[in-house]
Amino acid sequence: MNIGNEAQFQIYQMRLNGRYRGEPLCISHEDWVARAKEALSPEAFWYLAGGSGRGETMRANEEAFAKWRIVPRVFRDVAERDLAVELFGERLPYPVLLAPIGVQSILHPNGERAACRGAARLGVPYIVSSASTYRMEDIAQAAPDATLWFQLYWSRDRAVTESFVRRAEATGCKAIVVTLDTPMMAWRERDLERAYLPFLLGEGLGNYLSDPAFRSRLRRPPEEDPTSAILLWTQIFGNPSLTWADFDWLRQTTKLPLLLKGILHPDDAEEAFRRGVDGIIVSNHGGRQVDGAVAALDALVSIRSRLGPDRVVLMDGGIRRGADVFKAIALGANAVLVGRLYGYGLAVDGERGVETVVRHLLADFDLTMALAGHASVASIDARALTPAKAP
């Protein structure tokens, strides 16, 4: 049975087997947001849900999907669907990955370990953040069957950067995702009004505090002097002086597939592939960095047009429902990343919440694909869409 039909049937069956208690189930994106807001402190909720400035980029990410309409086709056999995609020689069951989210311990006590286990139960790759509260090694141990990628925040200290890459290789990560849009943190009004930066409270530093290169810079171990360790983190996090020459060094440092995350301009996309990148992720950091920036979906269209069909291009930003996944693939994404969506699931119900919210997204996508007349992800292209008429 396809995941869409299976998930749908399981929900409807709850009434028949007495498991439905009369209260509305948590199904929609809006439901998960509301429940997470109830479950979290205001500081934690807005750290997850907030953006930079007035939130224009966050809104643009969602509104960009409304510019396109799906054109369903009929008399096509869609009884069996193939949702799989291939990335870097590995077959993935769905065109969805879980984006890196830092400091997940503020959302749930088990943080990244719980989120990774939820992803593993579905076979969805989980991208470990440099800024995770738990060490990458602990996350891998918590979910031995998980497909892991590693997200790299490029440190001012090159030795720390290289050490993170070596650890990711040893941990079994399948790719390195380099986030480029955060050389420094943006003006995030919701966090600033509460003077809240969880890293200064010791959250989200698991990879740093355990790293041999980072620890070698300290006079005393972090266990004995956490304040000095946090201060060192503030001094090395982010690197606003990076250039393409630095990427050349990283390309020579690892044989793992390298993806650059935060690409929004076609010229940068072309340069990335010219210098040997394996893939890019079109992203504006979920609207958390530059307020008023181009929507990720709009950038995807222009970048795919420039690159042609053969390059690996992923995207994130504004994915809320199955139709969003469908539209992103039709407009050129090989796969998409979801972030806040599973973060809300983690906050509401830990590992099970992550599995549930991602399963619902996949089920919605599966049914959307079938109802649009497509039996495989490979068959979805721009002909499946038409521009929405201007109001």
Q: Does the pLDDT of residue 391 top 70, yes or no?
A: no
Distance CA 46, CA 288 (A): 11
DSSP secondary structure code for residue 359 in this structure: H
- Give me the residue spans of the domains in the chain: 3-13+40-375
Q: Percentage of residues in the chain with pLDDT exceeding 70?
A: 99
Q: Is 194 annotated as a binding residue?
A: no
Q: Percentage of residues in the chain with pLDDT exceeding 90?
A: 96
- What's residue 18's pLDDT? 84
Q: Does the pLDDT of residue 324 top 90, yes or no?
A: yes
Using left for φ > 0, alpha for ψ between -120 and 50, and beta otherwise, residue 89 falls in left
Q: Say which residues have a Cβ less than 8 Å from residue 158's Cβ, sequence separation at least 6.
A: 249
- What's residue 22's pLDDT? 83
Residue among 323, 337, 214 nearest 286 (CA): 337
Antiparallel, parallel or unpaired: β 258-263 and 279-282: parallel
Determine the average pLDDT of the residues in 99-118. Answer: 98
- What's residue 23's pLDDT? 86
What type of residue is 63?
A: E
From the list 108, 285, 360, 374, the catalytic residue is: 285
Determine the average pLDDT of the residues in 304-311. Answer: 97
285 catalytic? Reply is yes
Q: Is 101 annotated as a binding residue?
A: yes
Name the architecture of domain 3-13+40-375.
Alpha-Beta Barrel (3.20)
48 contacts 58 by C-beta, under 8 angstroms: no
Q: Is 139 annotated as a binding residue?
A: no
152-199: per-residue pLDDT in tens?
999 999 999 999 999 999 999 999 999 999 999 999 999 999 999 999
Determine the average pLDDT of the residues in 47-60. Answer: 97
Average pLDDT, the chain: 97
pLDDT greater at residue 19 or residue 49:
49
pTM: 0.97
